[in-house]
Structure 1
Amino acid sequence: MNSLTRWITLLLAATCAMAVATVYFAQPLLESIAADLGVPQARIGWVVGATQAGYALGLILIVPLGDLFDRKRLVLGQLLVAALALVAVGLAQDWAVLLAALALVGLMAVMVQVMVAHAATLASPAEQGQAVGTVTSGVVLGILLARLVSGALADVAGWRSVYFVAAGSLLLMALVLFYCLPTGPSPAHRSSYVALINSLFSLYREDRLLRRRGLFGLLIFAAFSVLWSSMVLPLGSAPLTLSHTEIGLFGLAGIAGTLAASRAGRWADQGLGERTTGLALALLTLSWLPTAFVGQSLIAFTLGVLMLDFAVQAVHVTNQSLLLAGRAAMASRLIGAYMCCYSIGSGLGAVVASWVYARWGWHAVCASGMAISAVALVYWLWLQTERAASAALHCNDQNL
């Protein structure tokens, strides 16, 4: 029976948006944080890196628990701890304390993946891809809206206010979920926690689809992070010198791209996952051309942002839809294993982007993003060649 109503789907998407936003609030604020704590520009990328490191650890240690315990209780507990971690970020006066608090924020933000898995188990098999697409759209909307909200709040009340407001919002959402979110089917996995974690790592060895889609996830989110973690640097500097709020408005272009790609889950349900992936990766590679002209045309830059976010969302939703199809019993571990790749890509992209920008400027950042995107596209083309050769060999065997 399908217990995932439209209202519950939207509630999960909204919660995902709020939870994942906590990971990305810092990106428009990097210069303000660096100035407040006296951190050199070349090191400020570690703000994003620390959060993503916590996220990666949470994907390994926490997300698999969704296959062992009730996911609703797991999500509620993470919301409460995340609120405390956000308060710690807002109070931090030391660089090391800030990084530690942000790592804890990332550790708890993996509730997003628990909710995606929960949506997949509540939905009927025929609607699973659409459900994952809708909830995942909330994730990407949260990533993009985080920049707009954090920029506006920082301009009004300083960067620390962003984290205090976020903490209050998560507490409110925990109350709503407590009363409204249905409990899913009882977890089928009955082994110990250690065996559960070991099974997560065994997925990388045994599941070829996970390895392939995980690599796509790593590459697309490395490219995504290259842009979004570094765009504040040219936009906030002369001659543009935009405010936090104005920089955050570029997230609206990303939202448009995300909404346009929200049907990717349905395309995967219809058997068009591979075609969607290839076209999106080609668009991702081309998106860096208009993005490079940020100093000459903000319209061209906005077009590049829209193209990039559409492409990333389309591949991301397709990845998860293909991975979860018919495998709801191990949804949490599959999502956790896949999102580890996402987190590694996001963290590496942020660190590389700040380092490259400090040495060679914006055009070198765009060249780096285009190179990462092109690697993903070439890998997809290679897989298509391999798949065609395998199909031809199978056909010849049948004829014999």
Structure 2
Amino acid sequence: MLPSRVAARPDGLPPSARPVPMPASLVRLLAVACALSVANVYYAQPLLDAVARDFGIPPATVGGIITATQAGCALALVTLVPLGDRLERRRLLALQLVLLAVTALAVAAAPTPALLLAGMLGMGLFGTAMTQGLIAYAATLAEPGERGRVVGAAQGGVVIGLLLARTLAGLVADAAGWRAVYLASALLAGGMLVWLGRRLPAVAAPPRPPSYAALLRSMLALLAQERTLQVRGMIGLLMFAAFSAFWSALVLPLSAPPFSMSHAGIGAFGLVGAVGALAAARAGRLADRGLGQRATGLALLCLAVSWLPIGMLPTSMAALVAGIVLLDLGGQAVHVINQAMILQARPQAQGRLVGCYMLFYAAGSGFGALASTLAYDRAGWSGVCLLGFSLSLLAALFWAATLPRR
């Protein structure tokens, strides 16, 4: 039976809880909740062609839908995620779930491109706030020696959610149209509201929480002072730009001749990526053992190499599948290690550290989505692959240049 209340400490943990590892059932619960939350940010990716036809959006600029979602992600990281270091997290999550459900209904009913973009911004806003709030919650409950494992499990849920979101969106869109995807999203948010309300233990807010303005100022201080955050954030930005470039542009060649695949078929490639993502979730254990830098180098190598088989898409679907596994393995391993290393810095500022790091993520994802659709419009799939490989190589070079000198 999970506790209904946890006494407040500066790091959010009661003295008696510190020696006790987090229950496996709670870790699984947080991972599943992360998956369902983050899916809202990625439902649109396999639906871009259908949305473009519905609203008459040119193919070269349809990536702006993803960019609007990522703008909502960035807004959430600055305005909502830091609130977890001030308010009781369970109540904050409940409010965000209600707003997420309302926003999903608004997207499903959007009559114009402008209102659609506003709704997509809201999906990014509340979907991201939920996801990152849950990760910070997990990091707060975890002991320092198991934080990498727990964050890795939660991040594994995030990865599975963002990949399977494409599969679910494709299946629902083929059966009932793209708007039905967001109706289903609203129903899932309502179910989560009941489920998490019954199962999540509450973590009391700090007895003397900083003001909201002080929280925002402290985020600027973290960005300016924490070198680990700066370095791992930039690596994450470049990695996520490459990751987003692939997944945002994939629907364009696969939905056109000679493939002419359905949305369900395109979304099924998310299942392929899940193989690599599940393996990457264990990368947090390497960070716990002090092997984060070595694992990062290997992961970035996988990310760069993945673009070689991905570039064979016109002639080999098997090569594309192999490339997706490498892409997700490398990219998500970097993401897990980044978070594990960053969250070790200041236990009392987990929400703000997550928010700061994910600002890099939102910037990279938004840039990758917009740049990839422009690259595809001008140079086809080879242009997308060149863009992704260049970003991956730049991430590896930056990592090598910032390695601590012994």
Q: Please give the TM-score of this superposition, normalised by the length of structure 1.
A: 0.95
Aligned position for 1:396: none
Q: Counterparts of 2:61 and 2:106 in 1: how far apart (Å)?
A: 21
- How far residue 123 of structure 1 moved from its aligned partner, in angstroms, is 1.4
Query: Is 1:6 aligned with 2:24?
Result: yes
Query: Is 1:230 aligned with 2:249?
Result: yes
Query: Is 1:270 aligned with 2:279?
Result: no
Q: 1:68–1:188: 8 Å Cα contact kept in structure 2?
A: no
Per-residue CA deviations over 1:327-352 (Å, capped at 9, x if unaligned) read 32110000000001001100000000
Q: 1:71–1:118: 8 Å Cα contact kept in structure 2?
A: yes
Query: Is 1:36 aligned with 2:36?
Result: no
Q: Which of 392, 398, 405 is the equivalent residue of 1:373?
A: 392
Aligned position for 1:121: 140
Contiguous gaps of at least 5 residues in structure 1 = 392-400
Aligned position for 1:95: 113
Aligned position for 1:398: none
Query: Is 1:131 aligned with 2:150?
Result: yes
Aligned position for 2:381: 362
Q: 1:4–1:119: 8 Å Cα contact kept in structure 2?
A: no
Given residue 7 of structure 1, which amino acid in structure 2 is its aligned partner?
S
Q: Which of 191, 210, 225 is the equivalent residue of 1:172?
A: 191
Aligned position for 2:82: 64
Q: Counterparts of 2:290 and 2:284 in 1: how far apart (Å)?
A: 10
**Other structure's SS at 2:57 match:** coil
Q: Percent identity?
A: 45
Q: Which of 200, 219, 236 is the equivalent residue of 1:200?
A: 219
**Other structure's SS at 1:191 match:** coil
Q: 1:67–1:188: 8 Å Cα contact kept in structure 2?
A: no
Q: 2:50–2:178: 8 Å Cα contact kept in structure 1?
A: yes
Q: Counterparts of 1:185 and 1:124 in 2: how far apart (Å)?
A: 17
Aligned position for 2:355: 336
Contiguous gaps of at least 5 residues in structure 2 = 1-16
- How far residue 25 of structure 1 moved from its aligned partner, in angstroms, is 0.3
Query: Runs of at least 4 residues of structure 1 off by over 6 A?
Result: none
- How far residue 326 of structure 1 moved from its aligned partner, in angstroms, is 5.6
Q: 1:67–1:189: 8 Å Cα contact kept in structure 2?
A: no
Q: Counterparts of 2:322 and 2:225 in 1: how far apart (Å)?
A: 40
Q: 2:107–2:120: 8 Å Cα contact kept in structure 1?
A: yes
- How far residue 5 of structure 1 moved from its aligned partner, in angstroms, is 1.6
Q: 2:108–2:180: 8 Å Cα contact kept in structure 1?
A: yes
Matches within 5 A, 1:77-88: 77-88=95-106
Deviates more, 1:3-12 or 1:227-236: 3-12
Aligned position for 1:219: 238
Given residue 302 of structure 1, which amino acid in structure 2 is its aligned partner?
V
Per-residue CA deviations over 1:214-264 (Å, capped at 9, x if unaligned) read 001111110100000000001111111111111111111110001111111
Given residue 379 of structure 2, which amino acid in structure 1 is its aligned partner?
W
Q: Which of 65, 71, 94 is the equivalent residue of 1:53?
A: 71
Q: Counterparts of 2:136 and 2:78 in 1: how far apart (Å)?
A: 15
Given residue 337 of structure 2, which amino acid in structure 1 is its aligned partner?
T
Q: 1:188–1:329: 8 Å Cα contact kept in structure 2?
A: no
Going from structure 1 to structure 2, the CA distance change for 1:196 and 1:87 (only over 3 Å counts) comes to: same
Q: Please give the TM-score of this superposition, normalised by the length of structure 2.
A: 0.94
Aligned position for 2:13: none
Query: Is 1:345 aligned with 2:360?
Result: no
Deviates more, 1:322-331 or 1:180-189: 180-189
Q: Counterparts of 1:20 and 1:220 in 2: how far apart (Å)?
A: 18
- How far residue 3 of structure 1 moved from its aligned partner, in angstroms, is 7.2
Q: 1:4–1:123: 8 Å Cα contact kept in structure 2?
A: yes
Given residue 284 of structure 1, which amino acid in structure 2 is its aligned partner?
L
Q: Counterparts of 1:277 and 1:149 in 2: how far apart (Å)?
A: 31
Given residue 51 of structure 1, which amino acid in structure 2 is its aligned partner?
T
Q: 2:21–2:146: 8 Å Cα contact kept in structure 1?
A: no
Query: Is 1:244 aligned with 2:263?
Result: yes
Q: Counterparts of 2:286 and 2:139 in 1: how far apart (Å)?
A: 16
Going from structure 1 to structure 2, the CA distance change for 1:17 and 1:169 (only over 3 Å counts) comes to: same
**Other structure's SS at 1:287 match:** helix
- How far residue 188 of structure 1 moved from its aligned partner, in angstroms, is 6.0
- How far residue 185 of structure 1 moved from its aligned partner, in angstroms, is 4.3
Paired residues, number = 387
Q: 1:21–1:146: 8 Å Cα contact kept in structure 2?
A: yes
